[in-house]
Structures are given as structure tokens and as C-alpha cells.
């Protein structure tokens, strides 16, 4: 039976989403409450997966032991349907029929019967409606919810759970899985999102967002709607987001926003406050790394949900440090000493790579280097653990570039230049990591999102040999891991009839389940504590344990790039003036003075408007 024939056979069937009352009552809990897709807790989903795994294994054992055993197609197809629904995987008529273990024609009739009795729901996969996916109806899902609980209770009664050895309980019922609090797979939404043309997303073209693009079909299955994603470089992304804000109606339902842009985008009316479109408590704010969640705020209100929290770290080759008898550098002086010791340009080996390309790339480097020496680029008040950014929306701040600390930072960059590759002045985000992955440099400043360049390549000399540190600190300062990354927000000019669905898609894309999925498919960013604690995530890369430790030590900080409205322009200015310094055109003090004057002009211009 073809997909289109199955669809035709269901024209007169009752809607699976609204089964007859007499059937629904049969599956209601004894206390009268209704178990629905929306009310299923993560623990319930885990228990269902455990019971499904047990029943699947039990059926296989029966088939091996009893030659005349006849599989029950309804039972096997229900198992397959529920498992894939919980895990957010697409089920087609063909795949469901294959799971029945009976002949194709007979299985097709059984699928038709399940559709007609309201146990299976069909959803179109294409605009033509000729292709569709299959899902358990609420009736079937609720029944399996209760069956899972009954199977566990029966096992405990019959086998004496209190007397079972811990290992047996772990093996048969996933006890170890529960104990480690592994995050369950994504769950398909109970109701598909109703968005004409699908969910339209504007993102940065980095590895994490490209993982989202790779997983697009799976996320479409989860939210029940198409996803259209456009990706740009960092500068073009900002331009497109600002241009979009000037349109009468937004072209995008969700946009990615670099953390330093928050103040500018709020002041220019680009973003909606999240509390106007969703219940923020559903996001579980306490689960986000503190720095990443605070960076999503302006004037005390959240304007985005952290999609990537990717601190800039020092990557270093543990094997080369060990061979040279060097300790991992904790200070800028130690870093320079190590870079000098490991710098061997005659053999194509260099001490360190970093962002030194003119403009935005070098500007970011200068801001984070300032923080290494204990100073933000804005005259923020110092507080325990860093600097206060809560009052930035009130204005009254000044830029602090041409200072003694600024001079220390500039001179440090001049020293780094001595131990860098010859093309350092054209290196930016990706270029600095490629020579590290190739084994040509011993150290590199880099965001965690770039780690897949060497962690995902077993042929890389840095594969399995990379250590991760916060930025080494200058004299009198403490180590800092400057937080970068993106939040995802909702455009202020998005039509009201799209906002609720856009907010729900935003919640799904930034959920712990989604974040874990990104990691499993190559991402090395993570904004949530729960994801960093997941045992499967920790096995994926040592970077997650390292970043979690930095967060608990209060080393993750976003004040190095404060989100004031002028920050993008000032970053570009610093990147231009200091590039001239690195090229030897102007001395450090002159470069700082010129950058200070141009930065002050941006404040004067804004305050005159």
C-alpha cells in the first residue's frame, strides 16, 4: 500500500487527535487526570524508553527460543512508533511496516486498521500532501504511558525489586541511565506549529548553526513545520538583522544575535522582550550558564535565549608542552615564554595563532586582551567576580582604551606577533584554528565552537592532544574566559499571529534535548549546566567538563565585550587602529589615542541623536 493510498483510506476515519470518548476513558489514569503529550515529564519519557527497550529485547528472546512464536504486528508497530516519537525520529509507512515482522500486504492492512481506529495520526511531509509521516495519537501515547508504569510495577512485584542486585536492575530497567540523569531525546510536539511558510530563521554561518541545518529534517519532524534557515558571516548577519528591522514585516521568525549586539538591537527596536511572547520560566533560566543568561538581558529584561555559550579559551598542545617540559601557562608572561620555546619557524612551527585580521577580528582580540589585564573597555564598576553590567542601559559610560592597562594589552599583542605565523595579520576566526589543527602552531586562542576542526579529525596532530584553559592573566589580574556566542530572539516587527508559534520553536531549538543533539552531531558549544553534566556529552569532548569547571570558578565572563549600543563600531575601530600598530605604521600609544578619539566620537554622535 502506498503512502497516498494510506492517506485516502483514512478520509472517513475519526481524527486521531480527538478519539471517541469511550476509547479515551479506557486509557485515563484511575485518578481521572489526563496524560497528554504536553504533560509528559522527562522522567516519564525515560521510563517509557526503558520499558520499550525491555519489551523489544523480550520479544527477540521469544523469537529465538520458540520457533513457532508469531509476532504481534500491532504490538511491534506500537513499540516502534512510540520509540521514534519520543526520540523525535521520522516514521514513514514503509519503516513502520518493516517493524511489524510480517508480510508487506498484511502489515499494510494492519497499519490501515490502526489509522481507522484512531491509534495513528498522519502528518503531511510535503506541501502536496502526497508524502506523510506517522505518529502515535494521544490515545495510543497515553495507553503506553500507563503500560510503562504497570510493567515496572509487575516486575517489582513478581521478581522482588528490593532483592534484585543493583547490576540487574541497571541492565534490565536502565537504572544507571536514570542515576546519571542523561537527557532524553527530543519529543515531537503534541500539536504541530501552525506557521505559514514554516519557521524562518536567520543565523550565523558557524559550525553549531550548521549542525542545526544538518538536523533540519529531524527538527521539522519535532515541530511539525518546515524550517527555512539563512546563514551569514558575522558582519553580514548584523547588517541583515538591522535591515530586517526596517522592513514593515519581519522576514524571519527567529534571529541569531551576537552577545555584544544586545544593547544596540534593543535600543533600535530590533528585538521583542521575551516576557511579551512566552513564559520565561519554561526555559528553566537557572539551567543556563550565568554569564550566558545575563548577557541576553538589557535593562533587566531578557531579549533572547542562549543558543550558544562559547567562551574563548587558550587551546594548547599537551604533548608538545610535555615534550618541552613546559607547564600549561596561567599568566601572560608564562604564555610568552612557552610561545618562544615552541616557536621554530625554520621547520614551519610557530608558537601561537590568534585573531589579528584588520577590523572586527582584531577588535575582538583587543577587547579580550584588555580583560586579560583586568580592565573592561567601558568604565564599569568593579564588583565581586568581575564588573557590573546591570546599569549599562542607563548610559553615562565612557570608553577606556587609551589607558596604562590598554598600553599593556597593546604591547602584549606586539610580543605575540614575534611568535606567530607569517600570515598572522590576515588570520581571523577560522584561519587561526586551521594551523593549530594541522599541527603548525602549539597554541591558539579560539572559541569552543571551533574545536570540531581538530576534535572531529583523527588525522589532526591536535586530535586527543589538546588542553583547554581560560585566558592566561596579566600581572595582578585573574584568569578570564570571555564569553561569546549567540542568543536567539524574536524580531519586534514579527506579526502577532506568528509570535506564539515562533516562541515555541525558539524553546525547542534551545532546549536541553536539542543542545545535546547538537553536541552529538559535532557542536562544541553548550549554554546549559544540565547538558554539560550529561554523561554522553562529557564523553563527546573534554571541553565540556573544562568549561563547566570555569563556570563554577566564575571565570566565564561577558563583561570583556559589554553589550553597549556602540560596541560593534568600537570593535571595528580598535581593529583598524591596532592593525596599523601591528604593521609598524604607528606606535602603540598613537594607535590607542586614535582609537580612543574615534570611540568617543561614537558616544557623542549617539548622545546628540
- Tell me the pLDDT tens digit for each residue of 281-303: 999 998 898 889 999 999 999 99
Angle at 373 between CA 310 and CA 439, to 5 degrees: 50
Sign of the four-CA dihedral 316, 551, 213, 363: negative
* Structure confidence at residue 33 as a pLDDT band (50, 70, 90): very low
Kind and range of the H or E run holding 179: helix 175-179
Domain boundaries, the chain: 3-179, 199-308+484-552, 310-478+556-608
Q: Do domains 199-308+484-552 and 310-478+556-608 have the same CATH topology?
A: yes
Nearest by Cα to 365 from 447, 261, 476, 451: 447
- Cβ contacts of 243 within 8 Å, gap of 6 or more: none
Instruction: Please give the pLDDT value at position 127.
Output: 66
Give yes or no for residue 65 having a pLDDT over 80. no
Residue the block writes with cell 582584531 = 362
Nearest by Cα to 92 from 124, 133, 60, 127: 133
Number of helices (H), then strands (E), in the chain:
27, 15
Give yes or no for residue 7 having a pLDDT over 60. no
- Cβ contacts of 102 within 8 Å, gap of 6 or more: 71, 73, 110
Distances (CA, A) of 77 to 82, 102, 195, 405: 9, 11, 31, 67
Nearest by Cα to 563 from 365, 296, 328: 296
- Tell me the pLDDT tens digit for each residue of 398-416: 999 999 999 999 999 999 9
Instruction: Please give the pLDDT value at position 577.
Output: 98
Instruction: Please give the pLDDT value at position 5.
Output: 47
- Tell me the pLDDT tens digit for each residue of 580-597: 999 999 999 999 999 999
Nearest by Cα to 518 from 537, 542, 538, 505: 537
DSSP string, 355-370: --STTHHHHHHHHHHH
Sign of the four-CA dihedral 562, 600, 582, 373: negative
Give yes or no for residue 81 having a pLDDT over 50. yes
Residues 81, 99: Cα–Cα separation, whole Å: 9
For the record, the C-alpha cell of 221 comes out as: 519532524
Instruction: Please give the pLDDT value at position 455.
Output: 92
Q: Is the pTM of this model over 0.75?
A: no
Give the range among 99-108, 155-164, 421-430 with minimum mean pLDDT: 155-164
Instruction: Please give the pLDDT value at position 356.
Output: 97
CB-based burial of residue 176 (10 Å sphere; 0-12 exposed, 13-18 middle, 19+ buried)? middle
As a 3-state breakdown, the chain gives helix, strand, coil percent values, each rounded to 5, of 50, 15, 35
Residue the block writes with cell 534593543 = 266
Angle at 516 between CA 514 and CA 519, to 5 degrees: 115
Query: Domain spanning 3-179 has what CATH number?
Result: 1.10.10
- Tell me the pLDDT tens digit for each residue of 333-385: 999 999 999 999 999 999 999 999 999 999 999 999 999 999 999 999 988 77
Give the range among 42-51, 87-96, 208-217 with minimum mean pLDDT: 42-51
C-beta separation of 114 from 76 below 8 A: no
Instruction: Please give the pLDDT value at position 128.
Output: 67
Reduced to 3 states (helix: H, G, I; strand: E, B; else coil), residue 117 is coil
* Structure confidence at residue 566 as a pLDDT band (50, 70, 90): very high
- Tell me the pLDDT tens digit for each residue of 470-492: 999 999 999 999 999 999 999 99
**Architecture label for domain 310-478+556-608:** 3-Layer(aba) Sandwich (3.40)
Reduced to 3 states (helix: H, G, I; strand: E, B; else coil), residue 467 is strand
Residues 37, 41: Cα–Cα separation, whole Å: 9
Nearest by Cα to 488 from 183, 219, 241: 241
Fold type of domain 199-308+484-552: D-Maltodextrin-Binding Protein; domain 2 (3.40.190)
- How far is it between the farthest Cα atoms of the chain? 89
Reduced to 3 states (helix: H, G, I; strand: E, B; else coil), residue 516 is helix
- Cβ contacts of 590 within 8 Å, gap of 6 or more: 581
Instruction: Please give the pLDDT value at position 313.
Output: 97
Sign of the four-CA dihedral 165, 167, 168, 174: positive
Give yes or no for residue 55 having a pLDDT over 70. yes
* Structure confidence at residue 253 as a pLDDT band (50, 70, 90): very high
* Structure confidence at residue 429 as a pLDDT band (50, 70, 90): confident
Give yes or no for residue 77 having a pLDDT over 60. yes
Beta-bridged to residue 378, according to DSSP, are 399
Q: What is the mean pLDDT of the chain?
A: 85
Give yes or no for residue 56 having a pLDDT over 50. yes
- Tell me the pLDDT tens digit for each residue of 519-562: 999 899 989 988 988 889 999 999 988 998 898 888 999 999 99
Report the percent of the chain where pLDDT is more than 70: 84
Angle at 188 between CA 149 and CA 214, to 5 degrees: 135
Beta-bridged to residue 229, according to DSSP, are 201
Residues 238, 399: Cα–Cα separation, whole Å: 22
Residue the block writes with cell 606567530 = 420
End-to-end Cα spacing for the chain: 68
Amino acid at each position: 500500500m502506498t503512502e497516498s493510498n494510506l492517506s485516502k483510506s483514512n478520509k472517513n476515519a475519526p481524527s486521531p487527535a480527538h478519539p471517541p470518548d469511550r476509547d479515551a476513558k479506557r486509557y485515563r489514569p484511575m485518578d481521572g487526570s489526563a496524560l497528554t503529550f504536553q504533560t509528559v515529564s522527562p522522567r516519564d519519557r525515560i521510563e517509557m524508553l526503558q520499558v520499550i527497550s525491555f519489551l523489544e529485547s523480550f520479544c527477540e528472546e521469544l523469537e529465538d527460543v520458540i520457533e513457532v512464536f508469531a509476532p504481534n504486528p500491532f504490538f511491534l508497530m506500537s513499540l516502534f512508533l512510540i520509540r521514534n516519537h519520543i526520540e523525535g525520529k521520522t516514521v514513514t509507512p514503509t519503516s513502520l511496516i518493516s517493524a511489524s515482522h510480517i508480510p508487506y500486504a498484511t502489515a499494510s492492512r494492519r497499519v490501515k486498521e490502526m489509522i481507522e481506529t484512531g491509534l495513528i495520526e498522519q502528518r503531511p511531509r510535503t506541501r502536496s500532501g502526497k508524502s506523510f509521516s506517522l505518529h502515535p495519537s494521544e490515545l495510543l501515547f497515553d495507553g503506553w504511558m500507563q503500560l510503562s508504569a504497570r510493567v515496572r510495577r509487575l516486575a517489582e512485584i513478581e521478581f522482588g525489586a528490593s532483592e534484585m542486585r543493583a547490576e540487574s536492575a541497571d541492565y534490565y530497567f536502565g537504572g544507571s541511565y536514570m542515576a546519571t540523569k542523561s537527557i532524553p531525546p527530543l519529543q515531537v510536539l503534541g500539536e504541530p506549529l501552525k506557521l505559514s511558510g514554516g519557521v524562518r530563521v536567520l543565523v550565523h554561518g558557524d559550525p553549531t548553526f550548521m549542525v542545526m541545518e544538518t538536523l533540519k529534517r529531524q527538527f521539522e519532524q519535532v515541530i511539525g513545520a518546515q524550517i527555512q534557515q539563512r546563514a551569514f558571516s558575522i558582519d553580514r548577519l548584523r547588517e541583515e538583522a538591522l535591515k530586517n528591522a526596517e522592513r514593515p514585516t519581519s522576514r524571519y521568525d527567529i534571529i541569531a544575535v551576537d552577545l555584544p549586539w544586545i544593547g544596540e538591537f534593543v535600543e533600535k527596536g530590533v528585538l521583542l522582550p521575551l516576557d511579551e511572547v512566552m513564559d520565561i520560566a519554561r526555559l528553566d533560566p537557572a539551567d543556563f550558564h550565568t554569564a550566558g543568561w545575563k548577557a541576553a538581558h538589557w535593562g533587566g529584561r531578557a531579549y533572547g535565549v542562549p543558543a550558544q555559550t562559547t567562551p574563548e579559551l587558550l587551546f594548547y598542545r599537551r604533548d608538545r608542552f610535555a615534550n618541552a617540559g613546559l607547564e600549561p601557562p596561567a599568566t601572560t608572561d608564562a604564555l610568552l615564554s612557552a610561545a618562544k620555546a615552541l616557536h621554530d619557524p625554520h621547520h614551519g612551527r610557530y608558537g601561537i595563532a590568534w585573531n589579528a585580521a584588520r577590523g572586527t577580528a582584531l577588535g575582538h582580540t583587543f577587547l579580550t586582551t584588555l580583560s586579560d589585564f583586568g580592565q573592561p573597555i567601558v568604565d564599569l564598576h568593579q564588583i565581586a567576580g568581575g564588573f557590573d553590567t546591570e546599569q549599562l542601559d542607563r548610559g553615562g559610560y565612557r570608553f577606556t582604551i587609551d589607558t596604562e592597562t590598554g598600553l599593556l594589552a597593546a604591547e602584549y599583542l606586539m610580543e605575540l606577533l614575534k611568535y606567530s605565523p607569517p600570515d598572522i595579520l590576515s588570520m581571523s576566526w577560522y584561519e587561526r584554528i586551521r594551523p593549530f589543527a594541522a599541527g603548525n602552531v602549539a597554541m591558539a586562542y579560539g572559541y569552543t565552537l571551533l574545536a570540531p576542526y581538530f576534535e572531529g579529525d583523527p588525522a589532526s596532530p591536535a586530535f586527543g592532544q589538546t588542553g583547554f584553559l581560560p585566558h592566561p592573566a596579566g600581572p595582578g589580574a585573574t584568569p578570564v574566559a570571555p564569553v561569546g556566542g549567540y542568543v536567539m530572539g524574536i524580531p519586534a516587527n514579527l506579526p502577532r499571529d506568528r509570535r506564539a508559534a515562533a516562541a515555541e520553536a525558539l524553546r525547542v531549538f534551545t532546549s536541553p534535548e536539542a543542545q545535546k543533539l547538537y553536541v552529538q552531531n559535532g557542536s562544541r558549544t553548550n549554554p546549559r549546566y544540565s547538558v554539560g553534566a550529561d554523561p554522553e556529552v562529557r564523553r563527546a569532548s573534554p571541553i565540556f567538563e573544562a568549561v563547566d569547571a570555569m563556570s563554577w570558578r566564575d571565570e566565564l565572563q561577558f563583561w570583556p565585550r559589554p553589550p553597549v549600543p556602540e560596541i560593534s563600531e568600537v570593535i571595528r575601530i580598535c581593529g583598524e587602529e591596532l592593525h596599523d600598530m601591528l604593521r609598524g605604521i604607528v606606535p602603540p600609544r598613537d594607535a590607542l589615542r586614535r582609537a580612543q578619539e574615534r570611540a568617543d566620537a561614537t558616544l557623542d554622535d549617539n548622545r546628540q541623536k
